[in-house]
Amino acid sequence: MKVLDDRVNSRRNIFARYKESLSVPGIQFMPETKGHKSTRWLTAFTIDSNKTGVSRDEIMNFLLDKEIESRPLWKPMHLQPVFKGLPYHGTGLDETLFKNGMCLPSSSDLTVQEQEEVIGHICGLLKI
């Protein structure tokens, strides 16, 4: 508990750097509800490949080629094999987020230099 505030502040700073550098048409970061303070434990965004010319999978594979791990947003429960055939009570938003959303490296000990490397690769891929 003694380090919690420092870790949350670190993650919020990491999120802010990503958002500042990668906020372009077609990329939307997870918003923070007014009046609340997110821990930003993960930095997640969605990408509209029609606007960016690049898909989520292309970004993830490009980063992987550079030995940088990223991952898709979590697979919706109703798409998990254990729940196959059970009723689904959603609107499809969860599937859209899973298809187009990803999480960037956001460890509390991620250095500014490491983060700038990630940002640089993504900016290069997006040609921004």
Q: What is the pLDDT of residues 61-113, one digit of tens each?
A: 999 999 999 999 999 999 999 999 999 999 999 999 999 999 999 999 999 99
Which pair of tokens denotes residue 100?
């187009």
**Domains of the chain as residue ranges with CATH:** 4-31+41-126 (3.90.1150.10)
The confidence band for 1, taking pLDDT boundaries of 50, 70 and 90, is confident
Q: Determine contact, residues 34/95, Cβ cutoff 8 Å.
A: no
Q: Which residues contact 114 (CB under 8 A, 6 or more apart)?
A: 105
Q: What is the pLDDT of residues 8-64, one digit of tens each?
A: 999 999 999 999 999 999 999 999 999 999 999 999 999 999 999 999 999 999 999
Rounded-to-integer distance, Cα 118 and Cα 125, Å: 11
In the prediction, which pLDDT does 24 show? 95
Sign of CA dihedral 76, 79, 80, 82: positive
Helix (H, G, I), strand (E, B) or coil at 63: helix
- Tell me how far apart the terminal alpha carbons of the chain are, to the nearest angstrom: 40
Q: Determine contact, residues 55/47, Cβ cutoff 8 Å.
A: yes
In the prediction, which pLDDT does 35 show? 95
